[in-house]
Structure 1
Amino acid sequence: MPEFTRSEAKPWAKARVRDFYAAPITPLTKDFELDEAGIRENIEAYIDWGVNGLVVGGFANETWNMRPEWWYRLHEITADAVKGRTDLWTIILDPCAEVCVDKLRHVEKLGFSGAELMNPMTQLRGDDEIYNFFKYVTDRSDLGICLYRTPVSGKVMGLELLKRLVDIDTVVCTKQGNLNRAESLLLRRELRDDFIVSDPTEHFYLDDLREGGQVLFAEFSYLIYGRKRSVLRSYVDKARAGDWEGAYAEWKSLRPIWHLYEDEFMNPLIRTASYASLMSVIKIWCETLGLKAGPMKPPVQHLPPADRERLVGRIKDLGLV
């Protein structure tokens, strides 16, 4: 059972879901199987680095390219390794409502707090159809739900639909994966005050703290900033204490890292609306920082050696290792 009742879900999330909810990678063996030891080793690193939560199971974990049993096993390993030391959420991308319910019931037994759910990428396109999908799922689970608002689904949910969905007790958050800053601010202004709108873009997070934001949900910055992640935490702490000038100086010092991330990952993601090949960038980046990563699972290809060497060189030049 979650820590909250259905009626308590929104206030619980407003109080608990803050700052750096990282999306971990899935390390694989050379035979393209789950590297269970590597998953556990990485989790110890995440805990040591002080993540506020882990969001498992989505595109970052390459779950679109996994056998169904892998998805369940990945969550079981993660929960066993975490042992309650940080908040756990999942991501569910399935278009079938019954599959979503099955997965929610599974992770609830493992101690997860909630799930980021994407509206179905096949068939259900009308606002009423999408609302009925989420209503069906949320009626059958007490876990918190974060709406994944993304073009990857084939339809970016509009404001009027979101206004209906946020009145469901357990719908506590939206990850504004449309990567449009103006829309993030619009949603935060127009939706209810006890609802979280996460703009998952670290470049805007300092400004977001001024504008009612509170969490970078299911993204990579806290992992990939390496030795500089303490500066991330520091500028957030300064901002929350009202030292905006000091926070800005620290935020600005991190922009060269963001520019590399933007060049190698964010801009290509915006162009393609696909994580598939780009996860090679993140896995190489994480591996350079000492995490277990392994190969990409076919049919996705790893970066060519020359591109890998160039990326690793830029990461090291930034002093992240």
Structure 2
Amino acid sequence: MEWTWQGVMPALTTKFTDSDELDTGLFVKNVRAQMAAGVSGLILGGTLGEASTLTEKEKDTLTLVALKEADGRIPVIVNIAEQRTSDAVQAARRAASNGAQGLMLLPPMRYKATSRETVAYFRAVADSTDLPILIYNNPVDYGIEVTPDMFEELLSTCPTVGAVKESTREISNVTRLRNRFGDRLRILTGVDTLGLESILMGADGWVAGLVCAYPAETVAVYALGKAGRIAEARSIYQWFLPLLELDISPQLVQNIKLAEVATGLGSEQVRPPRLPLEGAERERVMGIIRKAMAQRPELPQYKQYL
């Protein structure tokens, strides 16, 4: 399969039954909705996918189910987030053996690695596989920033590293990276509340969260923004923003799963230690979702711009 890092790539939630098993039927329903909306890839096992609570067997199952649904039409990308370098290498090899077509790679977990250690970690994984790699740069949540100098070193020594999930929350970084690397480094925004802004500044794609509940709206914002139909994109985005803000929260998984319930694309089930929202916070989130559903816009034709 030939593909590139671009378009909307959902960071999929993991669906569970009320007995804490994988709900593959509901997972498939969501994947089909994503593909029908026009996403360009599927990302499994990220923070939103509750990957830290999944067993290796469950990750294998989700990968194989997603690959069957994608059927070679779009890539399936597996997230790698490990503490030990050897575990990250093993996870990358396991994803490749299952048939994944790309990796999203975080810096080492828990230990705050130096720049030299972080680059060495990334290089060890890149050297272990031929899969294309998207580096997830999120210093806000994970404490390690992948700087332009570090990307320069990676791009010059690791041919499989080709993209960044830009989550520094500094919109000028899109331009800063483009100025330095041109098309050598594909840029995908990883912050929902900077989705349209990043696209208009030249980002190649959007690794999105609320897309799990609102796939068509997310892809429409991307496609219309890329096509220069800014007024149409902005109109959808203005409606969307209160929902997108649910993604920048420690409880983003619970928030987005509530939104998936509202659109019929998921359930509220999370895996402990996470628990469903309750009380005033649940009512606050539900208020945002109810208002959005009551005002949900009719979308213009957008797929022609993909």
- Bucket of the pairwise TM-score, normalised by the shorter protein: 0.7 to 0.9
160, 166, 182: which one pairs with 2:172?
Answer: 182
Question: For residues 55 and 287 of structure 2, what CA distance do their matches in structure 1 show?
Answer: 33
What are the Cα deviations for residues 1-32 of structure 1, in whole angstroms up to 9, with x where unaligned? xx4xxxxxxxx66xx32211111111110112
Question: For residues 96 and 49 of structure 2, what CA distance do their matches in structure 1 show?
Answer: 19
28, 36, 45: which one pairs with 2:24?
Answer: 36
Amino acid paired to 2:101: S
Pairwise CA distance, 1:107: 2.1
| CA spacing shift, 1:107–1:227, aligned 2, 3 Å | closer
Question: For residues 202 and 278 of structure 1, what CA distance do their matches in structure 2 show?
Answer: 11
Contact 1:231 1:250 in 2 (8 A): no
Unaligned runs of 5+ in 2: 299-306
Question: For residues 162 and 30 of structure 1, what CA distance do their matches in structure 2 show?
Answer: 43
Counterpart of 2:48 in 1: which secondary structure?
helix
Pairwise CA distance, 1:89: 0.9
2:58 is the alignment partner of 1:70: yes
Counterpart of 1:90 in 2: which secondary structure?
strand
Pairwise CA distance, 1:285: 0.7
Contact 1:113 1:144 in 2 (8 A): yes
Contact 1:30 1:294 in 2 (8 A): no
2:265 matched residue in structure 1: 291
Amino acid paired to 2:99: G
117, 128, 132: which one pairs with 1:140?
Answer: 128
Pairwise CA distance, 1:203: 5.4
1:198 matched residue in structure 2: 188
Unaligned runs of 5+ in 1: 4-11
2:151 matched residue in structure 1: 162
Q: In angstroms, what is the RMSD of aligned CA positions?
A: 2.5
Contact 2:81 2:106 in 1 (8 A): yes
1:171 matched residue in structure 2: 161
| CA spacing shift, 1:258–1:89, aligned 2, 3 Å | same
Mapping 1:92-107, distance limit 5 Å:
92-107=80-95
What are the Cα deviations for residues 63-88 of structure 1, in whole angstroms up to 9, with x where unaligned? 11223332222222222332223221
* Identity between Structure 1 and Structure 2 (%): 19
2:290 matched residue in structure 1: 313
73, 96, 99: which one pairs with 1:85?
Answer: 73
Name the TM-score, length of structure 2 as normaliser. 0.85
Question: For residues 211 and 278 of structure 1, what CA distance do their matches in structure 2 show?
Answer: 26
Question: For residues 234 and 212 of structure 1, what CA distance do their matches in structure 2 show?
Answer: 13
Name the TM-score, length of structure 1 as normaliser. 0.82
Amino acid paired to 2:291: R
Contact 1:235 1:248 in 2 (8 A): yes
Question: For residues 320 and 100 of structure 1, what CA distance do their matches in structure 2 show?
Answer: 42
Counterpart of 1:89 in 2: which secondary structure?
strand
Counterpart of 1:173 in 2: which secondary structure?
strand
Question: For residues 115 and 19 of structure 2, what CA distance do their matches in structure 1 show?
Answer: 43
Contact 2:268 2:276 in 1 (8 A): no
2:235 matched residue in structure 1: 253
| CA spacing shift, 1:252–1:209, aligned 2, 3 Å | closer
| CA spacing shift, 1:227–1:207, aligned 2, 3 Å | closer
